[in-house]
Amino acid sequence: MIINTGGRTDTVNYYSEWLLNRFNEGFVYSRNPMYPQQVYKYKLTPDVVDCVIFCSKNYEPILNRLHEISDKFNIFCHYTITAYDTDIEPNVPSINESIETLIKLSQLIGKEKIAWRYDPILLTPKYTIQKHLETFEYMTSRLAPYISFCIFSFVEIYKKLEQNMPEISELNEQDKNTLANGLGEIARKHNMRIQTCATEEDYTKFGIDISGCMTSKILEQANNIKFKKVSHKGMRKNCRCMPTRDIGAYNTCPNGCKYCYANKNPEIAIRNCKTHNPKSPILLGNILETDIIKDAAQESFLVDQCTLF
């Protein structure tokens, strides 16, 4: 199975001590977001965990200790660096700080285990198509030698986002084509592979791949492993990724990004963050007497795992 540590919150940035504790102890509890009393227990051991996925906007807090996980497990890192300033991403490091941290990460684990996420792409009077293309050009010129590939997607306009960002403009088909064409040209210029993430449109005519961002092929090539044939249905519409299990929790990320789908609002996330105990087996608070704990169904997807460790 694949463990995802960053789909619900930026665990690496804000909860790295807890994350390292969980892997060192070999298990973790994860609360069902739909049925909070239901808690799943996952073993974090190499016999059932084929790969650990990280997704963060700041790897600096875990750089010096990431080897505690990568020495025992196959890993793959998604590093999100966008064009936005603190007006949209209040608590995220600057572009240049993020680039420097990604370079350090690449030197530690190898470029084949890193994907740069430039998403979501959204438009405002400040962040225009031209602004995106200029920033993407600069970032690509610095990041291309240190990553396996780049992923982008267009923002989904939902009700909460309209409330949080009244300045946002809806991307029409022409906007998307102009951006995709420009991103594709820049990627080719710097010999960087680029692909979409859960995007309905087909941009292959611009040299853009439409495969999933966590496919068996990507993880195989990054870690020199081989998976059995596994369905790539993903977790949401148009997703083409392998099935994963997330051990994080919603409404816990203090990054404060206005477009965030995982937080109801920044205040709730900050309040929840205060209940975090790095020594607890669960991200928020502790296990309660009323919790119903179930052992999660876990199995390896690897063809021949006994030769890997």
**For every one of its 309 residues, what pLDDT tens digit does the chain have, with 9 covering 90 and above?**
999 999 999 999 999 999 999 999 999 999 999 999 999 999 999 999 999 999 999 999 999 999 999 999 999 999 999 999 999 999 999 999 999 999 999 999 999 999 999 999 999 999 999 999 999 999 999 999 999 999 999 998 777 777 778 899 989 999 999 999 999 999 999 999 999 987 778 999 999 998 778 888 999 999 999 999 887 766 666 677 788 999 999 999 999 999 988 888 888 999 999 999 999 999 999 999 999 999 999 999 999 745 444
Q: CA-CA distance, 258 to 89, in Å (whole number)? A: 7
**Distance from C-alpha of 116 to C-alpha of 131, rounded to nearest angstrom:** 19
CB 260 within 8 A of CB 253: yes
Whole-number Å distance between alpha carbons of 219 and 302: 11
Question: DSSP 3-state assignment of 250?
Answer: coil
Instruction: For the chain, give the longest Cα–Cα distance.
Output: 58
Cα 91 to its chain centre, rounded Å, is: 17
For 53, the enclosing helix (H) or strand (E) is strand 51-56
Residue 43: strand, helix, or coil? strand
Contact between 213 and 77 under an 8 Å Cβ cutoff? The reply is no
Whether the full predicted model's pTM is greater than 0.85, yes or no, is yes
User: DSSP code of 261?
Assistant: S
Q: What pLDDT does residue 226 have?
A: 95
pLDDT of residue 261: 85
E strand or H helix that includes residue 268: helix 266-273
Residue 302 has a pLDDT of 94
pLDDT of residue 234: 62
What is the spatial distance between Cα 120 and Cα 92, in angstroms, rounded to a whole number? 15
pLDDT at 18: 98
Quote the CA–CA distance of 37 and 289 in Å, as a whole number.
Answer: 10
| Sole residue written with tokens 């044939």 | 229
Question: What's the CA gap between 233 and 243, in Å, rounded?
Answer: 7
Measured between alpha carbons, how far is 161 from 147 in angstroms, rounded to an integer? 30
Look-up of token digits 């596994």 = 230
pLDDT of residue 307: 47
Which run of H or of E encompasses 39? Answer: strand 38-43
Question: DSSP per residue over 125-187, as a string?
Answer: SSS-HHHHHHHHHHHHHHHGGG-SEEEEEEPP--HHHHHH-TT-B---HHHHHHHHHHHHHHH
